[in-house]
Amino acid sequence: MLKSVQILGSSSGFLSLILKKSHNSCYGLSFVAVSTNPLPYSTARRHEIVSKTDSLVSPAFLTRRTRCFRASRVCATRSESNQDATSSHPSSAAVHSAGNVLKISFCQWCGGQTKHEVPHGEEKMRAICTVCGKIAYQNPKMVVGCLIEHDKKILLCKRKIEPSYGLWTLPAGYMEIGESAAEGAIRETWEEARADVEVQSPFAQLDIPRIGQIYIIFLAKLKRPHFSPGPESSECRLFALDEIPFDSLAFSSISVTLQLVRFYFEHMTLICLSN
């Protein structure tokens, strides 16, 4: 499944991405910045603005306000899949893909057969139980994780479970009921990398409507320089930017996130355009 990626940058530095279906053979990244305090620029020519930071991933750099970003495109062809090895659907609900939604065949409350129609006063097709009459509302799942920088390197975990067994990823997973996004990211990092981290700021949001997932990746730092594989990981390792194994990453969302890191903190060149 191939998708395009639209990236929206804000004056706060928080990046929002939308992954959609595309006819292209790679992910297309479009950068758009919104600023209420634009940098000065000349109407006659372009200016290159080069920013340097002491840290590879710096929240201070993310809050720098710019007029606009240079348009760029990167390729990522690995398909998305659930991060967990087990299904999160109740055993009584048989589901299969139906375009942008999951077609639910049986009621998750009573097990009765469902019909699919638009309820009165609504606009979307829903699964309605023919026995108890309850309506099944489907909502996106939230995946949270940490982008951990230590000594100008990024911490990655090699998966020891399916899907994507043996491939590298950022420590991330589904949020649990009762926790905040940051708390979930910290928990997942401990479970997968046995790393005690401090969240500094949000880094990127990736929306994947096709599979009903939203990723929120936080910048984080190690409280102590110690980490080791958790039950779901076979190895944890720090990678320099030029060492990141882009051909062995578990999910396209992780590839996009890491390419953002490489774009912003390796090149660190933004172009201001007239108009």
For residue 84, tell me if it sits in a domain. Answer: no
Return the CATH number at 106: 2.20.70.10
For residue 211, tell me if it sits in a domain. Answer: yes
- Report d(CA 174, CA 181) in Å as an integer: 10
> What's the 3-state SS for the chain?
CCEEEEEEECCCCCEEEEEEECCCCCCCEEEEECCCCCCCCCCCCCEEEECCCCCCCCHHHHCCCCCCCCCCCCCCCCCCCCCCCCCCCCCCCCEEEECCEEEECECCCCCCEEEEECCCCCCCCEEEECCCCCEECCCCEEEEEEEEEECCEEEEEEECCCCCCCCEECCEEECCCCCCHHHHHHHHHHHHHCCCEEEEEEEEEEEEHHHCEEEEEEEEEECCCCCCCCCCEEEEEEECHHHCCHHHECCHHHHHHHHHHHHHHHHCEEEECCC
For residue 86, tell me if it sits in a domain. Answer: no
For residue 105, tell me if it sits in a domain. Answer: yes
Same domain, 191 and 210: yes
Same domain, 148 and 126: no
For residue 89, tell me if it sits in a domain. Answer: no
Give pLDDT, residue 149.
94
Same domain, 161 and 239: yes
Same domain, 106 and 146: no
Same domain, 180 and 245: yes
Same domain, 102 and 64: no
Same domain, 159 and 59: yes
For residue 83, tell me if it sits in a domain. Answer: no
Same domain, 159 and 196: yes
Query: pLDDT per residue over 171-185, tens digit each?
Result: 999 999 999 999 999
Same domain, 148 and 132: no
Return the CATH number at 197: 3.90.79.10
Quote the number of domains for the chain. 2
Same domain, 66 and 102: no
Q: Residue 103: give the domain boundaries.
A: 95-136
Give pLDDT, residue 103.
85
Same domain, 241 and 148: yes
Same domain, 65 and 31: yes
Query: pLDDT per residue over 224-250, tens digit each?
Result: 999 999 999 999 999 999 999 999 999
pLDDT, one tens digit for every residue, the chain (275 residues)? 334 444 444 334 455 555 554 444 333 333 322 223 333 333 333 333 333 344 565 443 343 333 333 333 334 445 455 544 433 333 333 444 444 557 899 999 999 999 999 999 999 999 999 999 999 999 999 999 999 999 999 999 999 999 999 999 999 999 999 999 999 999 999 999 999 999 999 999 999 988 899 999 999 999 999 999 999 999 999 999 999 999 999 999 999 999 988 776 544 334 444 44
Give pLDDT, residue 100.
53
Give pLDDT, residue 34.
28
